[in-house]
Structures are given as structure tokens and as C-alpha cells.
Chains A and B, each alone.
Chain A
Amino acid sequence: MAAEQRRRSRGVSVGIKSVSIAFAGRTVLENFDVEISAGEFVAIVGRSGCGKSTLLRSVVGLETPQAGTITLGEVAASNANRKPDIRVMFQDSRLLPWRRILPNVMLGLEPALIPQARKVLAQVGLAERANDWPATLSGGQRQRVALARALVHDPNLLLLDEPLGSLDALTRIEMQQLIEDLWRSRGFTAMLVTHDVAEAISLADRVILIEGGRVALDEVVNLPRPRTRGSARFAALEERILGRVLQRRPVVEDQW
């Protein structure tokens, strides 16, 4: 219960109300509504090009919706002055190749926070690589540095844009555990975009499926943590969501 309280104090709620985004006349999100409560871990799944990354980018302000509002806590996302701390982890690590690992983690921080940065680097298991160049790290290690860089700011909201997509299977599972552990101990709100349904189920409180620019499925994952992929309930849920994703598109549009 204590963890639950801490989570509430750190995380920020996200309200997405009737948001529409179009690129060059092609509608990506249409009248999109989602409420995410403070400290919740939400996974967003869907086929490629369904607009899940666009949704994430509009939450952090990299895309501007043509219509609708996005509110973070009590503040509108467009209000740059009183923005809660949001950090993004991209599919590629986007480390600065010309900065060593520790300065990369320190990006945008005061030098006084070096001990803090070292601590987070140790949490992702890379304390001894602090003085190396990013080019000497493996893909998984680079993503761990990117995670450390995001978390050293102690964000209220962490956006994960397919951050594990390019990693090998074993490193992925390791990273998923790391993300889950850090989320549980810090209690930020997390939005994870992924095309891996199993990853969504093992991490998230709720899985949202986007299809045709709208929410096609909003499923609460009621499995105790840490979750084991082998369990029957896990498998049944994965089966159900996957089945929904793989439905042919015209059928879906008929429903709307």
C-alpha cells in the first residue's frame, strides 16, 4: 500500500480528449479519447502506422493535434511553462556520440547532480562504463543508458516509444524487468508503445489497442506482478488481444 501512495505522489495523470491528428490529409488519430490515471502503466499496441507513436509524440509536444486537448495532471500539454517533467525513451538510444556515458546521463542537469547520475547508472548496471564512449557499448547497454538518462530527472511521466524493439530476445526480457522494477520503486506514470503484445501484458496495468485512429480495445491486465509468461491466464489474455489485432480491417470499420 505504501508503494501505491508513493506512486500517486510521483506520477501525473494524462487526459487525452477528442484528439485528432492528420498528416497531409491522412487521418492518423480521430476523436481519440483516453484517460490515464497517475502512476498507471499503460501499454499501447496496434499495427504499424496505426498512430500509436504519433499519440506518444503529441503527449510530449513533438506533434500538435489539429483538434482536442491533452492535459497532464491539471495542466494542458501545450502550456510549456508549467509542464510536469516528461521524459521519452526512443526506439534508438539517441545518446550523444561525442559525450561519454556519464555526461550523456547528465544531459540538461546541473553538475551538482553527478552523484545522482552515478546512482541511476548503477541502477541500470552500468556504473563501471561511466567514462566510456557510447560507440563502445552494445545496443542493449545503450538503451539502458538511455533509460538512466530519462530516470535521472525523476520524471512524472515516462514515455517509451518501442524502446526495446531493436534488442535481442534475452536483452529484451532483462530490460522489461528493469523497467518494471524502476517503475514500481519510483511510481511515475508510464506509457509504452509496442507491437509486442506479450511485452505489453507483462508490463502494463492496461493494454490499449489502437485501430483506425480510435481505441479498439481497452483491457485491464489483472495479473499479479511479477508476471510469468508461462501462466495460463497470461496466455489466454495474449491470445485474446492478438486475435483482436489480427482481425481484418473492414470488419472493424463496420463495427464503428
Chain B
Amino acid sequence: MYQRQSSSIMKTQRHLRTLVKQTSPWVVPILLLIVWQWASSAGILPSRFLPSPRAVVSSFIALSVSGELWLHVRVSTLRALAGFAVGGGFGLALGLLTGSLHWAETLLDTTIQMVRNIPPLALIPLVILWFGIDESAKLFLVALGVFFPVYINTFHGIRSVDRGLLEMGRTYGLSGWPLYREIILPGALPSILVGVRFSLGLMWVILIVAETISARSGIGYMTMNAREFMQTDVMVVGILLYAILGKLADLLAKGLERYWLRWNPAYQTTR
């Protein structure tokens, strides 16, 4: 009887510990919110600088009820994903090419490394000249920014595939596509996924800038438009949306890593 009681106490303690562990990362953000709300209500923080959290929430609700918010989120997400697909696809293909074939590396790598040093955002004036403020301008900028991290990490991943495994594969009669599928691609995958994760972050950064400079829809447009009317609450909603979407993209990349690299002890979940 006594023992059972003590074990149940231990169980409660354990539950309490996991509860504390799970909630503690949120203590600081919640405290900040409380201080922010308090400062706004007390009039220390004028709403033309920063709206109160409550104003942000009600503005968020109003925008989502009217449907305006979802329209902008959808437009921005589609732009981001399309740019990522195009740029990431090219980066992957070219990285595989230059990583696998020496003549392709000699031919292309120097050029790519030179272009890489140009920040994509430095091209904005030219891009506006070429594409106007059309969809293709944003697509181009995002694709260009996303291309390099994927390219470089794919190239590096292919080059750092374990020589011993390649040798083993050859003595087992693998060559061509089977060797690629069994050994080279899976060996390069951890590095490729690092590139994907990095470029997913970059994707939002470039899109934000492109949308605030020239757009007729999207989260960036919504935020810039709100500035004209001093709607600080809408501006904060837009900024928070980027934070949430960025976090979602990162979670997606992490999920891919967890699934594709589940053979790797470093990525195995503790469960």
C-alpha cells in the first residue's frame, strides 16, 4: 500500500517535471506580452508607435473574418512556394550535375560561385525594370535567392559521400543509376536537407522585401498599405504572420529531416 502510494507520488512528480519542461520556453514571451499590454493600457506606449496586443488580436480577427487576410496569406505562400520550387529545383539539378560530373564542375562552378556573391536583393532595381512589379519579379527574386543554398549543399553533399561505401558498391557490381540511388543520393541527402532548410528561411526574407517594395497583394503589400493609413495594428499582424509562416516552413524542413534521415542516430526521436 505504502509502496503504491510512493510510486504514484513519483509519477505525479514526473508529470510535474515534464509540465514545467514543456511550459518554460513560453514563460518569457507571455511575460513580454503582459508587459506590452500593460504599457499600452497605461498610455506609456502610444498606439501610433505600437498597438496593444489586444488591438492586434482584434485586428487579426477582423481581417480574417473579412477574408482579406487569407487572400494575402494565400498569395504570399503561393509566391514563396513557386519561387522555392523553381530555384530549389534548379539548385538541386545543377548541384547533382556539378557534383557528379567533373566536366560540369569545370564548366559551371566558377560562374555559379561568382554570381553567388551578388545579393539577390541588390538586383531589385534591375528586376523591376525587367519584369515590372509583376508576379514574375517576385518569383525570380525568390528563386534566385533559394537557388544558391540548395546548389552549394547538394554539390558538397555529393562530394562528401563516403569513399569506402562507393568502393564497396562497385565491388558489388553497382554502377550508373543503381549506384546513384543506393549510395550517392542517400549519402548526399543530409547535406541537401541542410540547404533546403537554409533556403526556406531565406525564401521568406526575400519575399518580404520584394513584396514591400512592389506588389499589389500579399502580406508585404498589406503591411505597406497599412502604413499609409497609420494602421499599426495591421502592420503588426503582417509581421507576426511572417514569423508564423517562417516557423511553419522550418517545421516542415525538420519533419523532412526526421523522416528521410531516420536511419541517422542524430535525427532519431527519443520515442
Contacts and interface: CB of A to CB of B under 8 A. Distances in A.
Interface of A: 60-62, 86-88, 90, 92, 94, 96-100, 107-108, 133-135, 149, 153
Nearest to B162: A94
Contact of B263 (A61, A99, A153): A99
Contacts of B167: 62, 94
B174 A96 contact: no
B168 A88 contact: yes
B171 A87 contact: yes
Nearest to B185: A98
Nearest to A86: B171
Contacts of A88: 168, 171
B178 A94 contact: no
B263 A107 contact: no
A98 B173 CA distance: 19
B183 interface: yes
Given A99-B186, A108-B172, 5 more contacts: A86-B171, A88-B168, A94-B168, A108-B173, A134-B263
17 contacts: A60-B171, A62-B171, A87-B172, A88-B171, A94-B164, A94-B167, A94-B168, A96-B182, A96-B183, A98-B261, A99-B182, A107-B172, A107-B182, A108-B173, A133-B262, A133-B263, A135-B264
Interface of B: 164-165, 167-174, 178, 182-183, 186-187, 189, 261-265
A99 B178 CA distance: 14
Contacts of A108: 172-174, 178
A90 B263 contact: no
Contacts of B189: 98
Main secondary structure of the interface of B (DSSP, over half): helix
A90 B164 contact: yes
Nearest to B167: A62
Contacts of B265: 135
A16 B216 CA distance: 77
B57 to A, nearest CB: 46
Contacts of A134: 263
Given A107-B182, A108-B178, A98 B168 contact: no
Nearest to A133: B263
Contacts of B261: 98
Contacts of A94: 164-165, 167-168
Contacts of A153: 172
A62 B165 CA distance: 13
Contacts of A99: 182, 186, 263
Contacts of B178: 108
Contacts of B173: 108
A105 B168 CA distance: 13
A107 B172 CA distance: 8
A90 B168 contact: yes
Nearest to A103: B182
Which 9 A-B pairs have CB atoms at the shortest separation, nearest pair first? A94-B168, A98-B186, A98-B263, A108-B172, A88-B171, A133-B263, A135-B265, A94-B164, A97-B263
Given A133-B263, A135-B263, A135-B264, A96 B171 contact: no
Contacts of A90: 164, 168
Nearest to A93: B168
Contacts of A97: 263-264
A94 B167 CA distance: 9
B74 to A, nearest CB: 36
Contacts of B182: 96, 99, 107
Contact of B174 (A62, A87, A107): A107
Nearest to B265: A135
A108 B177 CA distance: 12
Nearest to A62: B167
Contacts of B168: 88, 90, 94
Contacts of B164: 90, 92, 94
A197 to B, nearest CB: 27
A98 B183 CA distance: 9
Most buried by B among A94, A133, A135: A94
B268 to A, nearest CB: 8
